[in-house]
């Protein structure tokens, strides 16, 4: 099949495409109920969309008491590629136009190998998904990278954990390689968009999405739109000071949140505890694997290990204090906690909640849910697909 290149010609068509994306197949009549257009106008726009092949007819809808309506849906052959590049692994997924995941691969990887090596791997993973018959080609791709991005151009700027990526024209290069439109964003922002599209944040206009992985970042959604800041570095909360005169951080300061709690810091703390024989559980795991990661701490905590639980609680407290400040400042309607460490689960969540509910004023916390992300590792790739579909489903 030839790839779709058509774009909606006007705001009405864009609106309809998004309704079909978010609501699945729909009858013309149901669409009419949602868009406040005259029936004639709606019919014209739907016909034009049918001509572009972006949407197709899909049989008859159930009767609502009278004549049955014809169903409309997004072309089932449309395919989006969602790529979520983490510090130590990549997720690549294929979705249909309704952003349902059809196939998903995760592979370990090191961003520090640089964009060329990483994209070689990403393209191979995409090819593998294609080969398994899930897609004949891609109509668009969304890419998440673990660092700040100059959004309009899709170029990473001064990313601390990705030396060699600074200024690399990710959007341009991948658009060439994949032969389709590409959008690039910070991985945390994509997680926020994912949770907004298909997760816990579906109905909230203003929320924060804190991602605790190798580092710590925060997606900011204002009025349903991701806020990226003046230079694309908004949400970079890993280097907020959490402990006065605390541990030295790679950024040159002391006491950064990220230095005290993150996947990397947690692994270091666990190793230290194991070596000092504070925890038999952790020491055993260290002996078995030669190293420890956040996953080991999670497992130890699940097994009831006091040291591991303490580490998690301690980190949750630090994180919660920072989030409490952000809640006072931003007054969100929801806080989502996600990222690799969600395996730490409710111990972590409880610590964060305690600090936030204690440290912020009641007016801000009174009706504030603080929850774990619903989508886990798929949040990023769903958000990536959402990013590119938002781009493609907007007036040309």
* Residues at the contact surface with a copy of itself, assessed by CB under 8 A: 148, 157-158, 160, 205-206, 218, 220, 222, 227-237, 239-241, 244, 251, 253, 321-322, 324-326, 328-333, 358-364, 366-368
Q: What is the CA radius of gyration of the chain?
A: 23
Give the tokens for residue 118: 């990483």
31 to 90, contacts with DNA by CB under 7 A?
37-41, 43, 60, 63-70
Give the tokens for residue 386: 């959402």
Nearer to a copy of itself, 176 or 231 (CB): 231
Alpha helices in 221-374 (DSSP H): 257-260, 263-275, 280-289, 294-302, 306-330, 345-359, 362-365
Task: Return the one option of DNA, a copy of itself, none that residue 332 interacts with (CB less than 5 to 8 A, by type).
Answer: a copy of itself
Residue 12 binding DNA, by CB under 7 A: yes
Cα gap 294→340, rounded to integer Å: 8
Nearer to DNA, 6 or 295 (CB): 6
**CB 257, min distance to a copy of itself, A:** 9
**CB 170, min distance to a copy of itself, A:** 17
Give the tokens for residue 132: 């398994």
Nearer to a copy of itself, 106 or 331 (CB): 331
Three-state secondary-structure class, residue 196: helix
Residue 386 binding DNA, by CB under 7 A: no
Nearer to DNA, 60 or 306 (CB): 60
- Selected range binding DNA among 22-30, 122-130, 319-327, 381-389, rule: CB under 7 A: 22-30
Under a CB-based contact definition with an 8 Å cutoff, are residues 46 and 13 in contact?
no
CA count, 13 A, side-chain hemisphere, 280: 2
Nearer to DNA, 54 or 72 (CB): 72
**CB 215, min distance to a copy of itself, A:** 12
Closest of 334, 290, 343, 289 to residue 312, by C-alpha: 343
Nearer to DNA, 28 or 112 (CB): 28
Cα gap 151→163, rounded to integer Å: 19
**CB 24, min distance to DNA, A:** 16
Cα gap 138→130, rounded to integer Å: 9
Cα gap 156→168, rounded to integer Å: 7
Give the tokens for residue 123: 């393209």
**CB 389, min distance to DNA, A:** 23
Positions in the binding site for DNA (CB under 7 A): 10, 12, 27-30, 37-41, 43, 60, 63-70
């Amino acid at each position: 099949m030839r790839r779709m290149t058509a774009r909606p010609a006007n705001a009405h068509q864009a609106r309809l495409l998004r309704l079909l994306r978010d609501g699945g197949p729909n009858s013309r009549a149901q669409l009419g109920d949602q868009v406040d257009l005259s029936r004639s106008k709606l019919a014209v726009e739907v016909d034009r969309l049918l001509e572009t092949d972006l949407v197709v007819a899909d049989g008859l809808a159930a009767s609502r008491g009278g004549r049955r309506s014809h169903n409309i849906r997004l072309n089932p052959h449309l395919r989006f590629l969602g790529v979520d590049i983490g510090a130590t692994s990549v997720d690549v997924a294929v979705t249909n136009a309704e952003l349902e995941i059809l196939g998903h691969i995760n592979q370990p990887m090191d961003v520090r190998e640089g964009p060329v090596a990483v994209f070689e791997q990403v393209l191979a993973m995409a090819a593998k998904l294609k080969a398994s018959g899930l897609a004949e080609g891609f109509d668009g791709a969304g890419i998440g990278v673990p660092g700040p991005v100059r959004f309009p151009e899709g170029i990473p700027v001064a990313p601390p954990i990705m030396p060699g990526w600074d200024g690399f024209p990710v959007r341009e290069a991948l658009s060439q390689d994949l032969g389709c439109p590409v959008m690039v964003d910070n991985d945390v922002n994509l997680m926020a968009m994912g949770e907004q599209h298909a997760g816990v944040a579906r109905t909230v206009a203003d929320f924060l999405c804190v991602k605790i992985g190798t580092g710590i970042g925060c997606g900011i959604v204002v009025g349903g739109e991701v806020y990226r800041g003046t230079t694309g570095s908004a949400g970079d909360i890993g280097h907020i000071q959490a402990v006065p005169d605390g541990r030295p951080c790679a950024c040159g300061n002391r006491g950064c949140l990220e230095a005290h709690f993150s996947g990397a810091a947690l692994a270091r703390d666990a190793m230290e505890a194991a070596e000092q024989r504070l925890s038999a559980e952790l020491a055993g795991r260290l002996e078995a694997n030669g190293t420890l990661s956040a996953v080991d701490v999670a497992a130890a905590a699940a097994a009831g290990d006091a040291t591991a639980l303490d580490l998690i609680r301690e980190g949750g407290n630090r994180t919660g204090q920072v989030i409490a400040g952000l809640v006072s400042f931003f007054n969100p309607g929801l806080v989502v906690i996600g990222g690799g460490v969600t395996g730490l689960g409710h111990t972590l969540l409880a610590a964060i909640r305690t600090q936030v509910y204690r440290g912020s004023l009641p007016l801000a916390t009174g009706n504030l849910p603080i929850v774990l992300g619903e989508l886990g590792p798929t949040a990023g790739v769903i958000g990536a697909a959402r990013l590119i579909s938002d781009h493609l489903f907007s007036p040309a």
